[in-house]
Chains A and B, each alone.
Chain A
Amino acid sequence: MEYSAIVIGASAGGLNALKTILTGLDAEFSIPLLVTQHISAHSDNYMTVHLNSLCKMTVKEADEKEKIEKGKAYFAPPNFHMLVEEDYSISLSVEDKVNYARPSIDIMFETAAFAYGNRLIGIILTGANNDGAKGLKTIKEHGGLTIVQDPTTAEVDTMPRSAIDLFRPHYVLKLESIAELLNEINRKNKYRDPRIH
């Protein structure tokens, strides 16, 4: 299976978890990442600037209508939902909170599932609510690969547990193993989708 994108949802404790995964990726890692991390509406862009300085891949806050490119990680901006368009670009929205969150993981997962179908990998990490569980299930229903952080290793286990309670994901792994699995997939990934540049 070739994968065209990876979507990651994280909440409380997410910054550390994301750091572990993103810095664990190979230098030549090319599958684009889309990340929704719950964050206060008034925060600045500290998180993306910080992660960008630590990672080999480009980490940035998503711009609206931005084309999704190889080798980049796009974060949902504070106070905006991030949606994936079926032409592989990003849309932002200020609509009401979903699961008490804006950005909401479910919105990103659901729209990404429509856009990428079975070429999508979805990952749920640490967090104190249940955002993302439904969306991850949708990804699986569209044939995508689903990964949940092992709740016993999560800083806050509610979010991974909600996902596992709702359906059976393909993998339940600790952070280091998630990075390892993604590297393995990336190496096998011929990634010749002509629609993405």
Chain B
Amino acid sequence: MNKPKAEKQNREPDTDVVNKNINLEIKLLLEAIYQKYGYDFRNYGQAHIKRRVLHRLSGSNLKNISELIHEVIYNDSFIKLILEDLSITVTEMFRDPTFYKRLREEIIPLLKTYPYLKIWHAGCSTGQEVYSMAIILKEEKLFERTQIYATDFNQLALKKAREGIYPIDKIKEYTRNYQRAGGKNAFSDYYTAKYESVILDSSLKKNIVFAEHNLVTDNVFAEVNLVICRNVLIYFNKELQERVLSLFEQSLMPGGYLCLGSKESLRFSSAYKHFQEIDDKEKIYKKNFYLR
């Protein structure tokens, strides 16, 4: 077997130092963003942050992250780019159809017993998740008695969410998801196609309030029966996950439900003791009735 070539030993000796410097600069960058603009990324998963920052750097003509910090402080339009880099808004309608099926079949019937319903979609991105919920509620004849709060800290995403206009090339996937999720009608009942876009039926927007809310820095704003927060916690470190999960716990009425993303879990958090696991795979939890 060949021995590794000599170049292995001659590796640049200073990659460790370079890496440490980069980490220091990123720390300073996040501190600058927080101090100047109030967005707090200091407890986000660092691998993701670093990747995105280095990506932004390599696509610019700045020499290093320190120069990027300068831009962030002195150039108000630059921060918008950075905020877009750091918040991942990828989403789809009826993402994880089995989750929506379970929700429709198991949870909605229980929620029907309430005269009035409040739902919070936290980290709703461009709105697809919220409209998926609206469609289910409509088909289950619950929409008229429901108030949905849909929040995100990304204003650009919220703007798109309010519009409810999506690229037409996504419709095939959305339709398939809708059907797998147990949809009762034709998915085309809910949109009109125009040029390269589909416009969602405006009646779906009726009981939805889209609002800016930052899970890291803002607090409880309503008491709700159902919290949906999917694929947001994966971007937070453990400490921040703790904070946000306790925020959800405080926002939920006794007997209310919490739904997380397929790869997120309540199990290892201190909020877990206030909940009962309803579905381990679809990550559905029910808040206990008894008082703490």
Contacts and interface: CB of A to CB of B under 8 A. Distances in A.
A114 B26 CA distance: 14
Contacts, number: 76
B16 A85 contact: no
B19 A94 contact: no
Interface stretch (A9-17, A124-132, A140-148): A140-148
Interface stretch (A23-31, A51-59, A76-84): A76-84
B16 A91 contact: no
A107 interface: yes
Interface residues of B, number: 29
Interface in A62-108: 63-65, 77, 80, 83-86, 91-96, 107
Interface residues of A, number: 32
B8 A170 contact: yes
B88 interface: yes
Contact of A65 (B2, B88, B238): B238
A77 B8 contact: no
B100 interface: no
B113 interface: no
Given A65-B238, A143-B11, A114 B50 contact: yes
A114 B20 CA distance: 10
B23 interface: yes
Contact of B51 (A83, A118, A141, A181): A83
A151 interface: no
B46 A86 contact: yes
A143 B90 CA distance: 34
B115 interface: no
> Chain A interface secondary structure, helix, strand, loop or mixed?
mixed
B9 to A, nearest CB: 9
Given A94-B234, A117-B19, A143-B12, A111 B47 contact: yes
Q: Which of B19, B45, B231, B241 has the most CB of A within 10 A?
A: B45
Contact of A118 (B11, B48, B237, B265): B11
B235 interface: yes
A177 B15 contact: no
Nearest to B264: A64
Interface string B96-138: 0000000000000000000000000000000000000000000
Interface of B: 1-2, 4-5, 8, 11-12, 15-16, 19, 23, 45-48, 50-51, 88, 90, 231, 233-235, 237-238, 241, 263-265
Given A86-B47, A141-B15, 8 more contacts: A63-B265, A83-B47, A83-B51, A95-B90, A114-B19, A142-B19, A145-B4, A170-B4
Interface of A: 63-65, 77, 80, 83-86, 91-96, 107, 110-111, 114-115, 117-118, 141-143, 145, 168, 170-171, 177, 180-181
19 contacts: A64-B233, A64-B263, A65-B237, A83-B47, A83-B48, A85-B47, A86-B46, A91-B48, A93-B88, A93-B235, A107-B51, A111-B50, A114-B19, A118-B11, A141-B11, A145-B4, A145-B8, A170-B5, A170-B8
